Amino acid sequence: MLKKIVKKILGMEAPKPDLTYLQYIDNKGSHLKNGFALRVDIPVPGKKYVTLGKDSMLSGTIVFESEEGHVSIGNESNFSPGALLICRESIIIEDNVFISWGCTICDHGSHSLYYMDRRDDYQVMLDNYKNQRNINIGKDWDTVDVRPVRICSDAWIGMNTVIMQGVTIGRGAIIGANSVIKQDVPEFTIVAGNPAQTVAKLPNI
């Protein structure tokens, strides 16, 4: 017993990872690397929230703030450390996609544009917090703009990019670092900036 305690203090025995999230993933052969996390705030028993293809590598975080939503990641895609997917409806990442460090991809606006709705949101959150419940229980999603996101095969999303709800990134497109994407990006196009603008066209070969 004493030896186990000493090993833990000295960092020689790493804590066992929390693998309870695996029950929510349909994994067809991808790799969950150190740092990967899945958060399901209001889980439905037996539901698969994430579908993974073959030989993708995931190090980022996927968040579901309600009972609904589904994330699909295809084959041989890379989901880097610090990247974040926040899903209410649908986020689809196809094959051979690179999502760089610190990217945020969200299929909803989180809150209403109307300030009184946001006040109501906060009261729900506060009541849940005071009663030691998840703060998203009872949230009124009808006031929130929710639209699916798709990132097509062979796209490369530069670090710290933000992709908003309703966006489709075309095949082979490249997004420059620190960009904010609010509109669809055509295939084999480089865009960058806030808001993102077309920088160049790429050959489709």
Position 143, amino acid: T
Do 95 and 192 belong to one domain? yes
The Cα 58–Cα 31 span in angstroms is 6
Do 98 and 57 belong to one domain? yes
Do 89 and 184 belong to one domain? yes
pLDDT at 140: 93
Do 39 and 103 belong to one domain? yes
Do 48 and 87 belong to one domain? yes
Do 167 and 129 belong to one domain? no
Mean pLDDT, each 10-residue run in order, the chain (205 residues): 49 52 94 94 95 97 96 97 97 98 97 95 95 93 96 98 98 98 97 95 85
Do 130 and 153 belong to one domain? no
Do 72 and 170 belong to one domain? yes
Domain boundary among 142, 164, 193: 142
Number of H helices, E strands in the chain: 2, 20
pLDDT at 204: 82
pLDDT at 185: 97
Domain range spanning residue 116? 112-142
Do 94 and 169 belong to one domain? yes
Q: How many residues does the chain have?
A: 205
Q: Which residues contact 93 (CB under 8 A, 6 or more apart)?
A: 71, 72, 73, 74, 77, 79, 99, 151
Inter-CA distances, 122 with 67, 110, 126, 170, Å: 19, 12, 6, 36
